[in-house]
Structure 1
Amino acid sequence: MSAGAPPVKLDGLLQRLPMPLLVVRGDRLVFTNAALQALLGLREDELPSVLEFNARFSPDESAWVEPLSRALARGEPLPEQPSWVRMRSEDGRQHLMTMLHAPGRVPEEQLVVLLDAEGGDAVRRLSAMLVSTAAQLLRCRDEAAVLELAVEAVHQQGFYVSVMLLEGDHLRHGPLRQEPEGLAAAERIYGQSIHEVRIHRAAMPQLADVLTRRKAAFHPDAFSMARRIHPPEVADNIERIYPPGSRALDAPIFVGDEPFGVLAVQSPTLTPANAGALELFAQLIGGALENVRHHRALEARLAEVSRLQGELVASERLTALGEAAGVVAHEVRNPLGAILNTVAVLKRESRLGPSGAAAVEMLEEEAIRLEDIVRDLLDTVRPLEPRPRLLNLGELVHRALGQLQGREGLPAAHVVFEEAPDVPDFSGDETLLQLALTHLMRNALQASPARGTVHVAVRRVSRGVSLVVEDEGPGIAGTDPHRAFEPFFLTRANGRGLGLAIVRRVVLAHGGTVHAGARPEGGARFELVLPL
Structure 2
Amino acid sequence: LHWAVRQRDDDTRRLIATGFAKIPLAERKATTERWLGSALQQTSPYLRHLSKVLIAALLALAVLLVWLWTLRRAVKHRTTDLLAARSALAERVRQQTCLHAVFKASEDLDAPVPSMLADVAGAVRAGAARPQTTGVEIEWDGQHYLSSKLGNADVRLSAPLRLDGQVRGKLTVGHRSTRQDGGGRALDDLQALVDVVAQRLATVFERRALQEERREFDRQMFQMEKLSTMGELTMGLAHEIGNPLGGMKAVVQSLQFEAAISDDMRGDLVRLESEIDRLSAFLRGFHGYAAEQAPAPEACMLRQILDDVVLWTRRDANSRKVRVELGDLDALPPLWADRHQLKQVLLNLVLNAIQVQPDGGVVTIEATCTGRQLTLTVADSGPGIPQDVQARIFEPFFTTRPGGSGLGLPIVRKIVQDHGGLIAVASAQGGGTRVTLTWPIATRDHDPDDPAR
Q: TM-score, normalised by structure 2?
A: 0.46
Structure having the larger proportion of residues in strand: 1
Return the index of the structure with the highest Cα Rg.
2
Bigger fraction of residues in helix: 2
